[in-house]
Chains A and B, each alone.
Chain A
Amino acid sequence: MSRRPRQPSLFEPVTAAAVADAFDPARLTQARVLAGMTKQELADQLGVSPAAVGQYEAGVIIPRTDHLDTLARILGVPVAFFAVGRPYARLDASMAHFRSLRSTRVGQRAKAVAFVEQLWELTHALELRVEFPPVNLPNLQPQPGSPDVEPETAAQRLRRHWNIGTGPVRHLVRTMEMNGIVVALLPFAATDEAARVDAFSTSRLSRPLVILTPDRANDVYRHRFTAAHELGHLLLHNDVNPGDINQEREADRFAAELLTPAAEIGLELPPRLRIPTLEPLSRRWGVSVASLIRRTRELGLTTEMSTRRAYQRLAYLQTTGLLQPEPITTYPGETPTLIGKAFALAEQHNSLTLSDLAKELAWPIRTVRTLLSNTDSRPTLTLVRNP
């Protein structure tokens, strides 16, 4: 089949013809997954059969140059995105932990994994220019033949390793970043099904990555617990087993002990579960009132019946709006900054611009901006028709 000569675009220096010679099938899959499309949906829009899309992604055939241009337009990426030659962290859903896994579908998980891959690519590009803090996590892997470390023990050892001391864990997300963990707050659109995945993390790459999605509940206490839960996975579960209820429970136990150590919170929890008494404790320890109720029960300080009544009273107060969630962004210590600061430093010392970075990664600038939590300061312009 002969290829038609193609006029290069004024706005896109890399042509589809050049990309066709260096087509990477895995990039097409990544772009499709990130766009949340099935092969069937993509095939319909491209005007080919789903089998053809399958063959493109399997590397059996290479899309025609005009199809590459159309694919780029449909999937919202520059055509250069489909080319080989960029560092690529290939993960699959069995290599990452997902919170709320049981309510997520395969496509949502694949999309979440593709976001982790993108975050790694961005981190890698920045790490070429800026030295990040070294990863500083205790080694909790048991010796061969020894039993696994209990989640509570792991949390206590991490507190000692990071010199947290007694009392609440202050500025958890910032502490994670200072210890070399890349954290990103990814604001999925409310309609985006991937937003049903609360958080995901992986330790399979050169640097541990955690992505938190705040949309389901913009609540700093839940956000902290989720971050601590993912930290538990990073420390305890090298052998990822997505959906394993035991691993999820262990990560919850780790988070509860990290944020509210039994030896300390046990002395402060009131004998009677009253919301006005729990609320100041919640604000001190940075955990939700619901979490404190659960902790009181876990530590055997109250009965099942009292716990149930306390949950009911809490639900009533939340429904009536008397107890409002505290938004994450009002707590700077719980908002990630590592990636944004690394970019600012690269901008300052290497004259790196958003546009350069987008070109290097072959991403649309808006994607770079989103992952950097870099808000667009440009005014929104609207075309106005003359009456």
Chain B
Amino acid sequence: MIPLPPELDLGSPGLGDAVVAELPLSERTIFNSYLREIRVLAETGRVAVLGYASTPDALLRAHFGYADLDGNDRLVWAFCEELTLAGLAASTVRSAVPSPRDTFDSGPIGQPVLRPRATESDTP
């Protein structure tokens, strides 16, 4: 049984519209193409959503839930909970992504170039 829709404070209502209106045309085109995809996805039923706020250096907040899309293209949450990001001591967990600094084991690992010899006359 899915709990009753809780409130998710995402700021003032309509804030998103104002931000979208300020976007240059090229970005608004990209935004609208995403929106079309989301509408198609929402038609299949309730969708699991992982919403997060981040900077290039850190994951700040994250929410997980199930939502529908209403007639105004807004998410209507059927269930939503904030994910706990605290408690992962960085020093005890090896990062899954390469360190921003060069390390001896970072970056792509090259492969020696080998070529099969086609004929016996090709041998050294």
- Residues on A lying within 8 angstroms of B by beta carbon are 127-133, 167-172, 174-175, 177-178, 206, 224, 283-286, 331-334, 337-338, 341-342, 345-346, 348-350
| Cross-chain contact B116 with A170 (CB below 8 angstroms) | no
Q: Does B106 contact A (CB under 8 A)?
A: yes
User: A170-B104, A283-B103, A284-B102 in contact; A130/B110 too (CB < 8 A)?
Assistant: no
Contacting residues, chain A, for B104 (C-beta < 8 A) = 168-172, 224, 284-286
What secondary structure prevails in chain B residues at the interface with A? Answer: loop
Contacting residues, chain B, for A286 (C-beta < 8 A) = 103-105
User: A127-B124, A128-B123 in contact; A178/B113 too (CB < 8 A)?
Assistant: yes
What secondary structure prevails in chain A residues at the interface with B? Answer: helix
Q: Among A133, A283, A284, A348, which residue has its beta carbon within 8 angstroms of that of B112?
A: A133
CB distance from A351 to the nearest CB of B (A): 11
CB distance from B114 to the nearest CB of A (A): 5
**Shortest Cβ distance from A168 into B: residue:** B104
Q: Among B99, B102, B112, B123, which residue has its beta carbon within 8 angstroms of that of A337?
A: B112
Q: Among A131, A168, A284, which residue has its beta carbon within 8 angstroms of that of B114?
A: A131
Contacting residues, chain B, for A178 (C-beta < 8 A) = 110-113
Beyond the given pairs A133-B114, A337-B111, A338-B114, 16 more chain A to chain B contacts, judged by CB atoms under 8 angstroms and listed by A's residue number, are A130-B114, A133-B112, A168-B104, A169-B104, A171-B104, A171-B109, A171-B110, A172-B104, A174-B112, A224-B104, A286-B105, A331-B105, A334-B105, A341-B111, A341-B114, A345-B114
Contacting residues, chain A, for B102 (C-beta < 8 A) = 167-168, 170, 284
| Cross-chain contact A171 with B105 (CB below 8 angstroms) | yes
- Residues on B lying within 8 angstroms of A by beta carbon are 99, 101-107, 109-117, 122-124
Contacting residues, chain A, for B110 (C-beta < 8 A) = 171, 174-175, 178
Distance between Cα atoms of A133 and B105 in the complex (Å) = 22
Distance between Cα atoms of A341 and B124 in the complex (Å) = 19
Distance between Cα atoms of A284 and B105 in the complex (Å) = 8
Distance between Cα atoms of A52 and B106 in the complex (Å) = 58
**Shortest Cβ distance from B118 into A: residue:** A349
Distance between Cα atoms of A143 and B115 in the complex (Å) = 36
**Shortest Cβ distance from A124 into B: residue:** B124
| Cross-chain contact A342 with B105 (CB below 8 angstroms) | no
Distance between Cα atoms of A331 and B109 in the complex (Å) = 10
Contacting residues, chain B, for A349 (C-beta < 8 A) = 116
Q: Among B101, B111, B114, B122, which residue has its beta carbon within 8 angstroms of that of A132?
A: B114
Q: Among B101, B106, B116, which residue has its beta carbon within 8 angstroms of that of A345?
A: B116
Q: Among A168, A175, A342, which residue has its beta carbon within 8 angstroms of that of B103?
A: A168
User: A170-B102, A224-B104, A286-B103 in contact; A131/B109 too (CB < 8 A)?
Assistant: no
Contacting residues, chain B, for A332 (C-beta < 8 A) = 109
Distance between Cα atoms of A168 and B103 in the complex (Å) = 6
**Shortest Cβ distance from A176 into B: residue:** B112
User: A128-B123, A167-B102 in contact; A342/B114 too (CB < 8 A)?
Assistant: yes
| Cross-chain contact B112 with A128 (CB below 8 angstroms) | no
| Cross-chain contact A341 with B105 (CB below 8 angstroms) | no
| Cross-chain contact A170 with B107 (CB below 8 angstroms) | yes
Distance between Cα atoms of A263 and B17 in the complex (Å) = 54
Contacting residues, chain A, for B123 (C-beta < 8 A) = 127-128
Distance between Cα atoms of A363 and B114 in the complex (Å) = 25
Could you give 24 example pairs across A and B, Cβ below 8 Å? A127-B124, A128-B117, A128-B123, A130-B116, A130-B117, A131-B122, A133-B112, A133-B113, A133-B114, A167-B102, A168-B102, A169-B104, A170-B103, A171-B110, A174-B109, A174-B111, A206-B124, A224-B104, A284-B102, A285-B104, A286-B105, A332-B109, A342-B114, A349-B116
Contacting residues, chain B, for A175 (C-beta < 8 A) = 110
Distance between Cα atoms of A66 and B113 in the complex (Å) = 47
**Shortest Cβ distance from A221 into B: residue:** B104
Distance between Cα atoms of A17 and B101 in the complex (Å) = 65
CB distance from B44 to the nearest CB of A (A): 40
Distance between Cα atoms of A206 and B114 in the complex (Å) = 17
CB distance from A130 to the nearest CB of B (A): 5
CB distance from A282 to the nearest CB of B (A): 10
Contacting residues, chain A, for B105 (C-beta < 8 A) = 170-171, 286, 331, 333-334
